[in-house]
Amino acid sequence: MAIARSSFIKACYGRNDGPLPVWIMRQAGRYLPEYRAIREKVSFLELCRSPELIAEVVKQPIDRFDLDAAILFSDILTILEPMGMKVGFPEGGPEIEAPISTPEDIDRLRDFDIAEEMPYIIEGIRKIKEVLPEKPLIGFAGSPFTVACYLIQGKGSKNFDTAKQFIHSYPDAAARLIDFLSHVTARYLEMQIDAGADAVQLFESWGGILSRDDFRGMSIDASNKIFGALSGKNVPRILFVNNIAPYLDMINDVDCEAVGIDYRADLAAAARALPGKAVQGNLDPSVLFGSVEHVRKKTEALLDGFEDHSRLIFNLGHGIMVGTPIESVRAMVDTVHNYRGQ
């Protein structure tokens, strides 16, 4: 099967002997003029709920850059509305109406039939596979702790102090919340795989604010519950942790094939700390605002410093930024594809 022989899938299993694969976090987004043209016509939520538009925006960066994997277009918080939480997506970031503030508030969250409540995700994946049959498709979800941060804080934050205070003020309730979200997230990712996703990524966007002890209880254990539930699906499972460096030794305990490394960490050192896993990353997104030659040099330097290219998936170390020059993205992708150091 072509997908199984793709450089991306082979790299996830540490067996890539060909050109290095590259994809970009948030690769379907506002840096692309064709994406902005769609957003001028529909809201973010309308886009997330239209299978046809999902497939269109997922295809856009593949058409431009011949990236080696596509990723589902959605948001980590779209899963909340079927739980009974009202979520808005104004320009300043997500906002949740009536966030969780007491243990009793957790009882407001309802389990739900994912296929019935989120059919646009299933149909969106099917549409993507129709228009991109040869490209591996990555499904994704937010980690339970990251989603809990928004549920408790009610909006974005630099440090999510309210969420951290909640988990220590109500440790039993916090554990119950994480367990519930783990259960729903596992079924959500399973649904994506059954619909056609060839790999899945769990975004631990805010776990990096936790102490090491809390990270094990709130993140590592939850990730293992989710990935363990998917172990029989025979697709690569990727964990991305923003600010991963303090927890690298723990990440070896996670039941996954690949680990995304943020731009703050040394990629080669992270790979040495994770000998049994593929590594994904980790060019600083701001590098792409430099000249084309600067982008090439930075990309080559990162590749030159890596030892075992059979288990490398090239990516940015965080999501691509609004305003990123198209020519810089192309220079990075071409540099990776043309690299001969593996």
Q: Which of 31, 35, 120, 150 is catalytic?
A: 150
Task: Collapse the DSSP code of 37 into the 3-class scheme (helix H, G, I; strand E, B; otherwise coil) and give the result.
Answer: helix
Catalytic residue among 13, 64, 75, 284: 75
Q: Indicate which residue of 13, 30, 214, 221 is catalytic.
A: 30
Long-range contacts of 2-6 (CB under 8 A, 24+ apart): 2/134, 3/134, 3/135, 3/136, 3/198, 6/68, 6/69, 6/134, 6/135, 6/136
Rounded Cα distance between 37 and 217, Å, is 43
Distances (CA, A) of 231 to 143, 224, 240, 292: 17, 10, 18, 41
| Long-range CB contact pairs, 158-165, < 8 A, 24+ | 159/209, 160/206, 160/209, 163/206, 164/209, 164/210
Residue with tokens 């975004």: 203
Is 237 known to be catalytic? no
Catalytic residue among 26, 187, 237, 311: 26
Q: Distance between CA atoms of 150 and 109, rounded to whole angstroms?
A: 14
Q: Does the annotation count 340 as an active-site position?
A: no
From the candidates 13, 39, 221, 284, which is the catalytic residue?
A: 39
How far is CA 61 from each of CA 36, 112, 214, rounded to the nearest angstrom?
A: 13, 33, 37
> Can you give the C-alpha Rg of the chain in angstroms?
19
| Whether residue 150 lies in the annotated active site | yes
Active site positions, annotated:
26, 30, 39, 75, 150
